[in-house]
Amino acid sequence: MLNGKKVLALIPARGGSKRLPRKNILSICGKPLIVWTIEASLSCNYIDKTIVSTDDKEIKDISLTSGAEVVDRPSDLSGDEVPTIPVVEHTLSIIKENYTYLILLQPTTPLRTKKHIDEAFHTLIRKNADAIISVCESEHSPLWANLLPVDGSLKNFRGEDIKDLRSQDLPKYHRTNGAIYICEVSRLLEEWSFYIKDNIFSYIMDKECSVDIDDQFDFLIAETLMKNLDRNTNPIGKSN
């Protein structure tokens, strides 16, 4: 519980994946990918229940063996284009329990640990926030990005005010990293988004812990980092 208020963790894990088939249960550093997230969730004292929403029997079996509860996701909520909120709503309708907060933990960010989750909840408390979303520093400044015309011309690609600046002289930008989404359930369902209109704050994580696995390249990066970082002493994130 969080200050006497119940917290539900939801781990969404479809069986289908086009870019990296079966990625949610691929073995990474000796465990199926999803298990890293399940274990992080179960070890957090603020979380009252950890549920995996899946349409896949193998993911279900691994999740149950790892200590999570499972909600069977119907086929109409299992396609590539299905947004997250209907999956949240379906899960809540199945378990029929009241929770004040929901934390969404995607299994594709295995370097997110209990420490990160704890720190995100600490930020929620300190800010008296209704929502917290994890971010990390952007690898490249968006000021150095633009659309290319058909002929590939770089004329006006960079603005005059920044075209000769070094990367270290540019302002720091941050991006969402997909690791942690916390929101008050009532506002989440009312606004149909984790990105609620106000009283929402960031939790900043290191780039090394923010790898979000989408394809084989991401998987190899995450595996390399997991082999070389001590998950018990990793630098944790920070809030603004």
Ordered by start, the domain boundaries in the chain are 7-143+173-239
Q: How far apart are CA 111 and CA 221, in angstroms?
A: 11
CA–CA distances in Å: residue 98 to residues 8, 93, 111, 184: 9, 10, 30, 11
So what's the pLDDT on residue 193? 97
Instruction: Enter the pTM of the model.
Output: 0.92
Q: What is the pLDDT of residue 53?
A: 98
Q: What is the pLDDT of residue 161?
A: 86
**pLDDT score of 78:** 87
- Angle between helix axes 57-65 and 33-42 (nearest 10 degrees) is 40
pLDDT of residue 54: 97
CATH number listed for the domain at residues 7-143+173-239: 3.90.550.10
pLDDT at site 236: 41
Name the nearest CA neighbour of 34 among 45, 43, 22: 22
Tokens of residue 81, six digits? 């284009």
What's the confidence (pLDDT) of residue 80? 81
Report pLDDT for 240: 54
Per-residue model confidence (pLDDT) at position 231: 54
So what's the pLDDT on residue 168?
A: 83
CA–CA dist 220, 217 (Å, integer): 5
Whole-number Å distance between alpha carbons of 146 and 83: 28
Q: Residues in the chain with pLDDT < 70?
A: 230-240
Q: What integer pLDDT is reported at residue 19 of this predicted model?
A: 85
